[in-house]
Amino acid sequence: MFDDPSLDEVFWLKKFQRSKLYIERKTGAVMHPEIFVKSPDQVEKSMVISMGGQNELYKAVSISIAGFMAAVTVQEFASGSKKPMALLENGKVMTGYCY
**What does each C-alpha distance from 13 to 34, 49, 62 come to in angstroms?**
10, 28, 22
How high is the pLDDT of residue 91? Answer: 78
How high is the pLDDT of residue 2? Answer: 45
How high is the pLDDT of residue 78? Answer: 87
Stretches where the chain sits below pLDDT 70 are 1-9, 12-18, 34-36
Report the C-alpha gap between 2 and 17 in whole angstroms: 15
User: Is residue 82 domain-resident?
Assistant: yes
User: Is residue 4 domain-resident?
Assistant: no
* Stated pTM of the model: 0.76
Between strands 83-89 and 92-98, the pairing is antiparallel
Q: Three-state SS for 61? A: strand
For residue 69, the enclosing domain spans 9-98
User: Is residue 52 domain-resident?
Assistant: yes
Report the C-alpha gap between 63 and 11 in whole angstroms: 26
The structural domain count of the chain equals 1
